[in-house]
A and B are shown apart, each in its own frame.
Chain A
Amino acid sequence: MDATTIADLARPTLTQGVRLQIDSATGKNVLLYPEGIVELNDTAHEIVSRCDGRTLGEIVQALAEEYETDAAALAADVREILMALQHRKLVELT
């Protein structure tokens, strides 16, 4: 896998042992993992909550339809966020 991008056909999923949950104290979405907690902003949450076996292309398409925006413009942001999560081993690509 090229470390600088993510292919459209890659299927991002949460790494085993990582859990997406609402923090009841703040109402915010968080990822829980061994010895750590990451708070997700709204954009990251919209992406992560769709990492359920779909391909990157399908995730981008779904978000583009939901928010009525241009898929090509959205794709770069989605890639960037997923790569940051992948770098922290919170998301893996299959």
Chain B
Amino acid sequence: MTVPRPYALLAEVTYRCPLHCPYCSNPADHCRATASVADPEGGRRGARPTMALPTAHGVTNNGELTTEEWKRVIQEAAALGVLQIGFSGGEPLARPDLAELVHEARETKLYTNLVTSGIGLDDDRLRALRDAGLDSIQLSFQSDKPNLADEIAGARAHERKRSVAAKIRASGIPLSLNFVIHRRNIDRLAQMIELAEALDAERVELANVQFYGWAFRNRAALLPTREQVARARDVATAAKARLAGKIDIFYVLPDYYETRPKPCLNGWGQRYLTVNPIGDVLPCPTASSAIPDLRLENVRARDLDWIWRESESFNRFRGTEWMPEPCQSCPQREIDFGGCRCQAALLTGNAANTDPVCEFSPDRARVDAVLSEIHSCEHTDEWTYRTNPSAVAVSM
């Protein structure tokens, strides 16, 4: 099989975050992702309770990659053909070396995008990022309404985000607003779009929550009702028409209500790769928690080129040969690629199954059961807030 070249690297530089959004897609057990150490011999499989790696400064940040390690990852990604890098997390501003990493990415000609809550983005850091050549910022908002937004974030953040948005616009860096949409904020879609207009954003992403990580755990409280989804779709369509040529609006549908699966990642191992805070390289950012038997390769043990081309994890669902029926004989198989491997794993227990969102999946009833539960009177509104990986500080 010819291996394609990747276009974009998602650099999850830390899982630390000042917000506690219950819809976070980070792994809900940070320990698997942060408390184990890469094994140069055998890759990494499943949770292993080992000590975090000490850094050169004698303090661990949950085994996070060092500045020099990230720089090497960036260079290897550029050599592999990557054109865009997204700095994400957690909250990437939690890393004091963020501007240095952005600078490195610009040196290797990558298009640099920062995905941030905005918390911690003061004048000095914004200037440093701009001077480093940051191309674009995606700023998250939880709602247009301050008290609801702060309740969702589990932190007083909304007013600070508004002032950060104004600073970003003044700095000249293009601004996108990102909203994750769920049952508690979906009825305010129109007002959230108005907030994007008021803050002079160039682009707004309204993404219905996808159920991975913390969001999977909190699904019963987050999944909107069918009526909410129908109303929101109308609002988004009308706003798109009204703001055409002014603000680009991207509305991501809630896939549980669809009859065909999303073309996840445009195919496994085709265009994207993710490096998580401890250097595990993932075909998809949620794969480490959703597919526990996936053998994860680590940049501390292998170079990115080998991992992308040769590793079992990147080749496991590449192309169409791995597909079961009904995908194998489906005319859509190179359009939706069988949907999402993580969703198949989470809902059916087997990542190689057809995404159960598909109406032809033998497991579609599992999705329908979740939906009918949401529409019963007994559904819950309670959620568990995201917590941070516990900091392990070791003095040398």
Contact = CB atoms under 8 A, between A and B. Distances in A.
Contact of B174 (A16, A24, A30, A87): A16
Contacts of B83: 21, 23, 30, 32, 37
Nearest to A86: B245
A19 B135 contact: yes
A54 interface: no
B81 interface: yes
A86 to B, nearest CB: 8
A23 B109 CA distance: 10
Nearest to B244: A87
B174 A34 contact: yes
B197 interface: no
Given A17-B136, A89-B245, A32 B84 contact: yes
Nearest to B205: A35
B176 to A, nearest CB: 6
A72 interface: no
Contact of A24 (B81, B113, B136, B172): B81
Interface residues of B, number: 20
Nearest to A32: B111
Contacts of A37: 7, 83-84
A34 B136 contact: yes
Nearest to A36: B84
Nearest to A87: B245
Nearest to B7: A37
Nearest to A3: B245
A25 interface: yes
Contacts of A21: 83, 109, 111
Interface residues of A, number: 15
A85 B368 CA distance: 42
Nearest to B5: A25
A34 B81 contact: no
A23 B7 CA distance: 10
A25 B81 contact: yes
Interface in B75-117: 78, 81, 83-84, 109, 111, 113
Contacts of B203: 34
A19 B134 CA distance: 12
A17 B248 contact: no
A87 to B, nearest CB: 8
Interface string A1-33: 000000000000000110101011100001011
Nearest to B113: A34
Nearest to A25: B81
B113 to A, nearest CB: 6
Contact of B172 (A16, A32, A34): A16
Contacts of A16: 172, 174
B109 A34 contact: no
B173 interface: yes
B202 interface: yes
B53 to A, nearest CB: 33
B138 interface: yes
Contact of B202 (A17, A19, A23, A24): A17
Contact of B176 (A24, A34, A87): A34
B270 to A, nearest CB: 14
Interface in B280-309: none
Contacts of A32: 83-84, 111, 135
A25 B79 CA distance: 8
A44 B81 CA distance: 22
A34 B135 contact: yes
A23 B172 CA distance: 25
Interface string A36-52: 01000000000000000
Nearest to B80: A25
Nearest to A30: B83
Interface in B170-213: 172-174, 176, 202-203
Interface of A: 16-17, 19, 21, 23-25, 30, 32-35, 37, 87, 89
